[in-house]
Amino acid sequence: MRDTYLPYGKQMLDDADIEAVVNVLKGDYLTTGPMIKQFEERMAKYVGAQYAVAFTNGTAALHGACFAAGIGEDDEVITSPITFAASANCVLYQGGIVVFADIDQQTYNIDPTEIEKKITSKTKAIIPVHFTGQPVQLDAIHRLAKEHNLVVIEDAAHALGATYQGEKIGALSDMTMFSFHPVKHITTGEGGIITTNSKEYYEKLMQFRSHGITRNSNLLTENHGPWYYDMQFLGYNYRMTDIQAALGCSQLDKLGSFVKRRKEIVAAYNEAFSDLLEVQTPYQHIDTDSSWHLYILKLNLDTLSVSRKEVFEELHKMNIGVNVHYIPVHTLSYYQELGYKRGSLPKSEQMYEEIISLPLFPLMQEQDIQDVIDTVKYVIKKVKK
Ligand SMILES: *Cc1c(COP(=O)(O)O)cnc(C)c1O
């Protein structure tokens, strides 16, 4: 057994990252300075989008996207229940109604045929989540969006570096959100961004993240002089600092090697577990190249004498920090109080009972990978029927 606890995810920082941050601390601008613009330009270029707007975190970025998309009171927005609460909460911030559509049992991603069933005359947008880093079926989703005049906001918190039909995630829909929380592909401590090809969305996002205030003379209806600004709608202070943006730029230099390392770990897991009858390794759709934020092992519960909880606890006892992604959002207390019903999304609810996420992060050493493999095999052998 390992003598130290292995978490499921962790950042990887080097001296260049630390130097980048220190340089900002020694400079003139801690916020609203040149590093923000540089980070935005580099992120936009990386994903192939025209614009990017950085935010304090991914959740704030999603809030901004919902605002820019014009989501308001009683507008319906469709998303997946197998996601972090933020993908749905951003709709509620705007007074909208969250409508959950069930998942595809192979990819665990939102299923376009389930989306179609949930579209009504009040539907305004779809927020598909590239769960684990594997892109959703964007072709089918874009077809529905076009037919019903819907905005598509991709939640790509897991999918920086992923591709769909050979094209990078980040410039394929109206807006795309990435998160820079420490467990994600690159980190800024806390941070998020929206990438888009629309100038209109870009301008709204810029104004939204800074109180709804603008100094842009083209947008002002009066102008008292060089000091003048106007607040034209209720925005927030959702600005990222230059300290964070400098870290983001430095981390972006390493994204390619981070994704490569994640893929190596995934290949080792797939090889180790593919002939284990008690578990199912992740399915990869032919149209997608995942950037592997998460590695999910599905337990074939009818071959085991215990539930997922016991497997989870056994692994934790042996210092393997497995996790569960996610508790279906509609079953959380707040959503239950809003009236969402258990049993309404059976595929998501069933999947939730069967899954564990294995440790997966670039800093993992060969011995860490081997420890995960050996411990999972040991525990499965112990609890199989
Ligand atoms: C991390 C995450 C978010 C929110 O990002 P934060 O930066 O933590 O606010 C949203 N959606 C998904 C799927 C995430 O994993």
Q: Using one digit for the tens of pLDDT, what is the confidence trace for 94-113?
A: 999 999 999 999 999 999 99
With cut-offs at 50, 70 and 90, classify the pLDDT of residue 157: very high
Ligand 1 centroid from CA 9, angstroms = 14
- pLDDT, average across residues 148-173: 98
For residue 184, give the ligand 1 atom closest to its CA.
Answer: 1
Ligand 1 centroid from CA 175, angstroms = 15
**pTM for the structure as a whole:** 0.98
- pLDDT, average across residues 47-59: 98
pLDDT at 165 over 90: yes
Fold agreement (15-252, 255-383):
no
312 lines ligand 1 (CB under 6 A): no
For residue 192, give the ligand 1 atom closest to its CA.
Answer: 7
pLDDT score, position 42: 98
59 lines ligand 1 (CB under 6 A): yes
pLDDT score, position 39: 98
pLDDT score, position 1: 82
pLDDT score, position 217: 87
Fold of the domain built from segment(s) 255-383: Aspartate Aminotransferase, domain 1 (3.90.1150)
pLDDT at 70 over 90: yes
Distance (Å, rounded) from C-alpha 157 to C-alpha 180?
A: 8
Domain-wise residue ranges, the chain: 15-252, 255-383
pLDDT at 218 over 90: no
- Mutating to test ligand 1, I would choose from 11, 56, 59 the residue with most ligand atoms within 8 A of its C-beta, which is 59
Ligand 1 centroid from CA 155, angstroms = 8
Please answer whether residues 285 and 137 qualify as being in contact, where contact means their C-beta atoms are separated by less than 8 angstroms: yes
- Mutating to test ligand 1, I would choose from 179, 185, 209, 323 the residue with most ligand atoms within 8 A of its C-beta, which is 179
For residue 62, give the ligand 1 atom closest to its CA.
Answer: 10
> Quick check: is 124 catalytic?
no
Mean pLDDT, the chain, rounded, equals 97
Fold of the domain built from segment(s) 15-252: Aspartate Aminotransferase; domain 2 (3.40.640)
| The pair of three-digit structure tokens given for residue 318, joined into one six-digit string | 């042996």
